Each structure stands twice: as C-alpha cells, then as structure tokens.
Amino acid sequence: MDAVMGHLDDLVGLVKEHKGWAAPVIFLLAFGESLALVSLLFPATVVLFGIGALIGAGGLEFWPLWAAATVGAALGDYVSYWMGARYGQAIFGIWPMRRHPDLLPRGMRFFQRWGVASVFLGKFFGPLRASVPLVAGICAMPLLRFQAAAWCSAVVWAAGILAPGTIGLGLLGR
C-alpha cells in the first residue's frame, strides 16, 4: 500500500509541476475511480482531494478540472454498466471481484432497495461507487434512466471531491 501511496503523491506532484496535465490526469482518475474492477485496485479519491487542494492554493482553475472529473466519472459508470450488461452474472468470477465476494451482493441489495436512486447515491459510498453501475447493467436497468442518474451524480460528486480544498484554502485566506 505504501508503494501505491507513493505513486499517488507522484501524481499530485506531476499536476503541481505541469498544470497542463491536470485535466487529463483528473479525467483518468475519476474514470478509474468509477470503473468496476479498476476502482478496487487504485484509490484515486486521495489524489483527487490532493488536486482539489492545489486548486485552492491558486495554481489551477476549478471549472475545467470539475468538467474533466464529471466526464471521467460518468464514462466510468457507463463502462461499468456496459460490463454488467455484457457479462451478467459471470462478472462475479472475474478477478478482482473474486477477491471481494461481498461487494456485488451488497451492490445488488442496494440497487434492489433504491432502484434508479442507487445509481446516484452509490457514487458517494466507496465500494458502491463502481459496483452499483455494474449491478444496474446486470439487472438491465433502462440505459436512459441509468445515464440520467449517472451524469447527475457525477456532476455533484466531482464538485464534492474537488471543492473541499478550494473552499478550505479560500476560507483560510490562502
């Protein structure tokens, strides 16, 4: 885990030194954080909060990075949905899902209880972030309803993950 955290620190350093890479890095992090299978291996939330702090320190613009995070998160959700729709229950046997046998059943229960709202709400709860879109695909949720909930949650999630550093440092007077 220390090696992963070292790489995450390197990513924040890259963005700090090369501001032009901020949007593509944030897009990829948000995509990976929302993508089933990948999100279990790569804790991007920490880096996204760190980059949010760089926004607050005055080195980066909020709106383009918010847009990159929004699009990355929504596309990650869509790919997860597609994988669920394409592979169905067989996804339970694919690594790394095999290593987290409780993840999909938890996502399934959450989806069955909350329906379309689970796609929105799941974005804000760690492991459910990627498993709920996967389950929505497995359960053949209508794509338009899925996309509406996924995009709405991505808009709010992206702001929530980047804004704390921006707001916090702004309140401290930089």
Report which of residues 169 and 6 the model is more confident about.
6
Q: What would the pLDDT profile of 92-131 be if each residue is shown by its tens digit?
A: 777 666 777 777 788 889 999 999 999 999 999 877 887 8
Question: For the chain, how far is it from start to end, CA to CA, in angstroms?
Answer: 32
Q: Based on DSSP, count helices (H) and strands (E) in the chain, helices before strands.
A: 8, 0
Residues with Cβ within 8 Å of residue 146, at least 6 apart in sequence:
77, 81, 116, 119, 133, 136, 137
Contact 35, 80 (CB under 8 A): yes
| Across 37-44, average pLDDT | 71
* Token representation of residue 169: 């440092």
Nearest to 60 by CA among 25, 29, 34, 30: 25
pLDDT band at 2 (very low <50, low <70, confident <90, very high): low
Q: What would the pLDDT profile of 52-89 be if each residue is shown by its tens digit?
A: 877 767 678 889 999 999 999 999 999 999 999 999 98
Contact 29, 7 (CB under 8 A): no
